[in-house]
């Protein structure tokens, strides 16, 4: 096929560089139509010096070390080829080449780490061909493109996903076997990319997979964190955080673009030039350098880009003079300040330095990405740039509030650098930018100190103030001035700037007539200056602005003169008015979520119930003002990684019973399993696969934790970020109650009463989130006690898996039988792990929260274990608690006392148990309603035990969960974003 316009060696700005051994690759991996499955590709070569030597590296797997001269012939060495198919021999040749000529390891041996890097580099060669072609084709067509900005991309390992999407898994497995290694062992050498923490980042990565698979023109933008969040260790003291080392051996997937870097500015000041334009000058400049990662689609040539920014300072900022005079720290200060921006995901923000660093991270992501996006728009536009067409070519999606600064940054660039008017720039910004809300929690609806932002980003504050003024004008126009209380309420709720005086044009809106609110008897007002209030007259006069309830007359005081006969009349003049302590000034803040809603053309929640809460509660005033902005886009996960690759045995069964592999792209086909749910053959195969996956997990748990568990027990799993609202505490208290009841029974009674369970936890507590870390400690202490209790044996085990990540999830989820999604109703935006578990035939126990609501609808009420209060009840239940009307269940009191008895060790759990008590106050009053839902939770767990005893019924429920999961493919979600928010179309490469 003719591919000259897609030359991999393109020299145009931004084209992807090609690095393939001794050849110039100008062909494409052509998968043909998705029905044909053709894998042929051809490579045109330049004349090059043949590589004649044998590939003599050594294998150091479990077998004795051997040379590879016997397995790879000289004819297979990478010399020159006219054409070849990606068979095992050519792949082995490519791997050999990279092991020798792209070395990251010493040449003596071909150990597993070296085998992984050589294999990954070989795969990257394949990806680069389609990567370049995709870029060139989109560039040529000048199509509208979506740009997904996220602080997190939790990718997981890339090797198996890449070769699976390329349909080369079998060929790579065979090639590596020729070289003395198993593909599975080689793949296990890959470190998870530490670019995210939880569902936010994993969702972003699923979206990139779907965008590539569905042939949409799109890029992702993020930051290249050197250490990620942290690596979690579990010690006797609970969670310990250490730096993540994922980049220490290098990252074979990334390509650094040293020619693509942008200046990002902080601090400085804003001046008005003679031309009337604003100029942001001085301050601190750093460089954001692009690192690109290819994202291949499944059975398509489309390969999109994840561009990650790394920060540095120019070498001239290194103070050589200071270094040579011994002031080494000073010499490196500018470089260190730049580099540390991309050291850690979510640096602790308890200190001012931490807050500054977080804001620098967010602005770096926004500024570098927008400069890059605008450069692309200008390049594709050629000589005739029409800025009004920018939203017709660019869709910027802000994944949560972290990229909010995209709005003032795009305005700044358009106005200050491109010369557009405010009206033109605002029109373009609003049409180009959209916002996804992921939470109702206050800590995620970000607010930033106005003072800090003024110091760090002075020009952006000016722009935000102007946007806020426009918003105030809109609110006043909408609600009028007749009802001042309503108007004041709306302004307080909706303004971007919190606790900031109204703009000058509106200061007269709420001027109140001067009158004394102090209702004192007339005789006390006759001689105010004769009172004993020790204030100058002008301050006394101003005190009439104080509310009357804050002014108190003291009890009558009598001085010694009075006792000697001073008249009662004069004594009465000694009454004192006591003024209250001055109310401290509230901090001035910038509300990022409000800015997102005002500046974006679309606002979406991520599950039906969450989107309703966004409209009815979180942003209700905005919804009433702009109802057309608000949408729902229920999250999804990619079926490639989350069934096809992580659960290959189940995938084979699904393919056999549905008749084809079409379900991988069209998950609607999974619904066909429903008609076979009661078939004995399918049920037998289904149970066999589940047991096989459980056996793999048994080995993993033994390796990682030292605990031996029985594969015959039910595997009950809760894995997610540790947070009070996700209620890992409810889960572990339920386990403690179960353990207590077991201990009170005879061996025969407990065996009859309880189904054997392995209760598995995983997830990280944020380093400064003390209560979450207490929960981790509590879980591990319970596990230590229960797992070593000979009376209990295999009837109950509690295991905390350290350093939970995507790769661990890929083992846990296929082996799961019961999964817990038990957040306080109305607090989980969506959840995506619940979707992954359901896809893999796991049955959920949960509340009506987030996507649980839709999962239950899709899989059937009988195939979901439901408990707990509903979202509309939560506010009333908290009010009931505050009024002291809540009566805890005796079982809840019993379990707390059992914990306090010290049965789980000497650690003092009073703070943890105390948080579940009281009626009000921070850290008290059981805000997340663990006590309220505890009895319902216990009763639901009894139903779980009952259902699990009937394995035929349980297997049917499992099959129906997989059959009911088609809706939760990220392919469906991306189609909805593309159609309703981004207005982009698929572009299939020829």
Set 226, 412, 459, 720: catalytic member? 720
> Are 377 and 480 within one domain?
no
Q: Give the CA distances from residue 90 to residues 66, 97, 110, 238, in Å, rounded to whole numbers and listed in that order.
A: 21, 11, 18, 49
For residue 625, give its domain range: 442-503+587-632
Report pLDDT digits (tens) over 207-256.
999 999 999 999 999 999 999 999 999 999 999 999 999 999 999 999 99
> Are 357 and 467 within one domain?
no
The count of other CB atoms within 10 Å of the CB of residue 785 is 16
532 falls within a domain: no
What is the number of domains present in the chain? 3
Packed helices 484-494 and 458-479: angle between N→C axes, nearest 10 degrees? 150
**CA separation for the pair 380, 393 (Å, rounded):** 10
What is the Cα 937 distance to its own chain's centre?
28
135-155 in b/e burial notation, b at 16+ Cβ within 10 A?
Answer: bbbbbeeebbbbbbbbbbbbb
78 contacts 94 by C-beta, under 8 angstroms: yes
Set 726, 738, 757, 774: catalytic member? 726
Say which DSSP state 549 is in: G
**CA separation for the pair 638, 676 (Å, rounded):** 24
> Are 795 and 713 within one domain?
yes
533 falls within a domain: no
> Are 627 and 697 within one domain?
no
Last residue of a domain, one of 632, 664, 698: 632
**CA separation for the pair 140, 161 (Å, rounded):** 29
**CA separation for the pair 57, 114 (Å, rounded):** 10
In the predicted model, residues of the chain with pLDDT beneath 70 are: 1-85, 443, 511-579
> Are 713 and 754 within one domain?
yes
Burial of 558 (0-12, 13-18, 19+ CB in 10 A): exposed
> Are 487 and 405 within one domain?
no
402 contacts 572 by C-beta, under 8 angstroms: no
> Are 920 and 880 within one domain?
yes
Q: Are strands 255-266 and 284-296 parallel, antiparallel or unpaired?
A: antiparallel
Q: Give the CA distances from residue 638 to residues 180, 661, 700, 748, in Å, rounded to whole numbers and listed in that order.
A: 32, 15, 24, 45
pLDDT for position 85:
55
793 falls within a domain: yes
The count of other CB atoms within 10 Å of the CB of residue 833 is 25
- Is residue 721 annotated as part of the catalytic site, yes or no? yes
**CA separation for the pair 381, 394 (Å, rounded):** 12
Last residue of a domain, one of 632, 667, 686: 632
Set 134, 832, 847, 962: catalytic member? 832
750 falls within a domain: yes
Residues 6+ apart with CB under 8 A from 982: 144, 146, 395, 397, 434
Set 438, 490, 495, 738: catalytic member? 438
44 contacts 33 by C-beta, under 8 angstroms: no
27 falls within a domain: no
What is the Cα 2 distance to its own chain's centre?
42
> Are 612 and 648 within one domain?
no
Last residue of a domain, one of 597, 616, 632: 632
> Are 625 and 643 within one domain?
no
> Are 733 and 624 within one domain?
no
213 contacts 166 by C-beta, under 8 angstroms: no
Set 360, 721, 764, 797: catalytic member? 721
> Are 677 and 788 within one domain?
yes
551 falls within a domain: no
417 contacts 371 by C-beta, under 8 angstroms: no
476 contacts 487 by C-beta, under 8 angstroms: yes
135 falls within a domain: yes
20 contacts 123 by C-beta, under 8 angstroms: no
**CA separation for the pair 294, 962 (Å, rounded):** 30
pLDDT for position 833:
97
- Is residue 489 annotated as part of the catalytic site, yes or no? no
Set 490, 727, 836, 878: catalytic member? 836
Residues 6+ apart with CB under 8 A from 952: 683
Tokens 């379990």 found at? 895
pLDDT for position 579:
67
Helix, strand and coil content of the chain, in percent to the nearest 5, comes to 50, 15, 40
- Is residue 438 annotated as part of the catalytic site, yes or no? yes
HSE-CB at 659 with a 13 A cutoff on CA atoms is 5
> Are 415 and 448 within one domain?
no
The CATH number that applies at residue 893 is 3.40.50.2000
Residue 178 token pair: 């020729």
14 falls within a domain: no
Residues 6+ apart with CB under 8 A from 988: 215, 300, 302
3-state class (DSSP) for residue 550: helix
Provide the β-strand partners of residue 631. Answer: 604
What is the Cα 193 distance to its own chain's centre?
14
Q: Give the CA distances from residue 700 to residues 120, 795, 802, 811, 842, in Å, rounded to whole numbers and listed in that order.
A: 24, 20, 12, 8, 19
């Amino acid at each position: 096929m003719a591919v000259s316009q897609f030359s991999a060696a393109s020299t145009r700005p931004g084209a992807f560089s090609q690095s393939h051994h001794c050849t110039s690759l100008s062909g494409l991996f052509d998968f043909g139509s998705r029905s044909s499955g053709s894998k042929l590709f051809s490579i045109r070569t330049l004349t090059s010096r043949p590589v004649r030597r044998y590939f003599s590296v050594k294998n150091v797997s479990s077998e004795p070390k051997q040379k590879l001269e016997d397995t790879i012939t000289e004819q297979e060495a990478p010399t020159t080829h006219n054409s070849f198919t990606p068979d095992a021999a050519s792949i082995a040749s490519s791997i050999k080449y990279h092991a020798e000529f792209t070395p990251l390891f010493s040449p003596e041996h071909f150990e597993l780490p070296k085998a992984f890097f050589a294999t990954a580099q070989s795969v990257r060669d394949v990806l680069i061909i389609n990567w370049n072609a995709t870029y060139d084709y989109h560039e040529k067509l000048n199509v509208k493109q979506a740009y997904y900005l996220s602080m997190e991309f939790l990718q997981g390992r890339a090797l198996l996903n890449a070769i699976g999407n390329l349909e080369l898994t079998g060929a790579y497995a065979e090639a590596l076997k020729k070289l003395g290694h198993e593909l599975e062992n080689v793949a296990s050498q890959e470190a998870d990319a530490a670019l995210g923490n939880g569902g936010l980042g994993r969702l972003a990565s699923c979206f990139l997979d779907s965008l590539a698979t569905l042939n949409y023109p799109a890029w992702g933008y993020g930051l290249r964190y050197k250490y990620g969040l942290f690596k979690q260790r579990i010690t006797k003291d609970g969670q310990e955080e250490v730096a993540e080392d994922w980049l220490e051996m290098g990252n074979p997937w990334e390509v650094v673009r040293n020619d693509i870097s942008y200046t990002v500015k902080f601090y400085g000041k804003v001046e008005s030039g003679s031309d009337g334009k604003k100029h942001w000058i001085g301050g601190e400049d750093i460089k954001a350098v692009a690192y690109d990662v290819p994202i291949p689609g499944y059975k398509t040539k489309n390969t999109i880009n994840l561009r990650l920014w790394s920060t540095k300072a120019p070498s001239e900022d290194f103070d050589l003079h200071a270094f040579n005079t011994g002031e080494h720290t000073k010499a490196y200060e500018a470089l260190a300040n730049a580099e540390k921006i991309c050291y850690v995901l979510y640096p602790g923000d308890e200190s001012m330095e931490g807050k500054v660093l977080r804001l620098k991270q967010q602005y770096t992501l926004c500024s570098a990405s927008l400069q890059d996006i605008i450069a692309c728009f200008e390049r594709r536009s050629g000589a005739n740039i029409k800025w009004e067409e920018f939203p017709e070519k660019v869709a910027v999606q802000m994944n949560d509030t972290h990229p909010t600064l995209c709005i003032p940054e795009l305005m700044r660039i358009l106005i200050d650098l491109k010369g557009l008017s405010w009206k033109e720039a605002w029109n373009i910004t609003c049409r180009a930018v959209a916002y996804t809300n992921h939470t109702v929690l206050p800590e995620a609806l970000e607010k930033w100190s106005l003072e800090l932002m003024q110091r760090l980003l002075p020009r952006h504050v000016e722009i935000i103030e102007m946007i806020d003024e426009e918003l105030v004008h809109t609110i006043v126009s909408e609600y009028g001035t007749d009802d001042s209380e309503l108007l004041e309420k709306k302004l307080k709720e909706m303004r971007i700037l919190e606790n900031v005086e109204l703009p000058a044009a509106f200061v007269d809106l709420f001027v109140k007539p001067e009158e004394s609110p102090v209702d004192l008897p007339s005789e006390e007002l006759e001689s105010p200056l004769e009172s004993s209030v020790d204030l100058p007259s002008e301050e006394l006069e101003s005190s009439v602005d104080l509310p009357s309830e804050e002014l108190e007359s003291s009890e009558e005081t009598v001085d010694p003169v009075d006792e000697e006969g001073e008249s009662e009349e004069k004594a009465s003049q000694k009454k004192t008015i006591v003024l209250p302590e001055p109310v401290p000034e509230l901090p001035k803040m910038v509300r990022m979520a409000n800015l997102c809603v005002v500046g974006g053309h679309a606002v979406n929640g991520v599950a039906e119930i969450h989107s309703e809460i966004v409209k009815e509660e979180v942003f209700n005033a905005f919804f009433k003002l702009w109802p057309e902005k608000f949408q729902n886009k229920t999250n999804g996960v990619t079926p490639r990684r989350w069934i096809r690759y992580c659960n290959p045995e189940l995938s084979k069964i699904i393919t056999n019973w549905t008749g084809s592999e079409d379900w991988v792209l069209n998950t609607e086909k999974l619904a066909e399993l429903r008609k076979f749910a009661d078939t004995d053959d399918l049920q037998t195969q289904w149970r066999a696969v589940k047991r096989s996956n459980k056996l793999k997990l048994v080995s993993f748990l033994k390796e990682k934790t030292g605990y031996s568990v029985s594969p015959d027990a039910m595997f009950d799993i809760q894995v997610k970020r540790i947070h009070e609202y996700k209620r890992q505490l409810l889960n572990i208290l339920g386990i403690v109650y179960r353990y207590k009841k077991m201990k009170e029974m005879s061996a025969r009674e407990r065996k009859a009463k309880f189904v054997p369970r392995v209760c598995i936890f995983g997830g990280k507590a944020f380093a400064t989130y003390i209560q979450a870390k207490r929960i981790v400690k509590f879980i591990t202490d319970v596990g230590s006690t229960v797992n070593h209790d000979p009376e209990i044996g295999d009837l109950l085990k509690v295991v905390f898996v350290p350093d939970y990540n995507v790769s661990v999830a890929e083992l846990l989820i296929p082996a799961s039988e019961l999964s817990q999604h038990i957040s306080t109703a109305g607090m989980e935006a969506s959840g995506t792990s619940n979707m992954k578990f359901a896809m893999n035939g796991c049955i959920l126990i949960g509340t009506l929260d987030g996507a649980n609501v839709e999962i239950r609808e899709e899989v059937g009420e009988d195939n979901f274990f439901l408990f707990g209060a509903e979202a509309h009840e939560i506010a009333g239940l908290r009010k009931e608690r505050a009024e002291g009307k809540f009566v805890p269940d005796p079982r809840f009191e019993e379990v707390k006392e059992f914990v306090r008895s010290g049965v789980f060790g000497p650690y003092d759990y009073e703070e943890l148990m105390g948080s579940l008590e009281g009626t009000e106050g921070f850290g008290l009053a059981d805000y997340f309603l663990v006590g309220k839902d505890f009895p319902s939770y216990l009763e639901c767990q009894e139903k779980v035990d009952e259902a699990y005893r009937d394995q035929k019924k349980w297997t049917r429920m499992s099959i129906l969960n997989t059959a009911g999961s088609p809706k939760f493919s990220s392919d469906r979600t991306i189609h909805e974003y593309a159609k309703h928010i981004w207005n982009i179309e698929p572009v299939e490469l020829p």
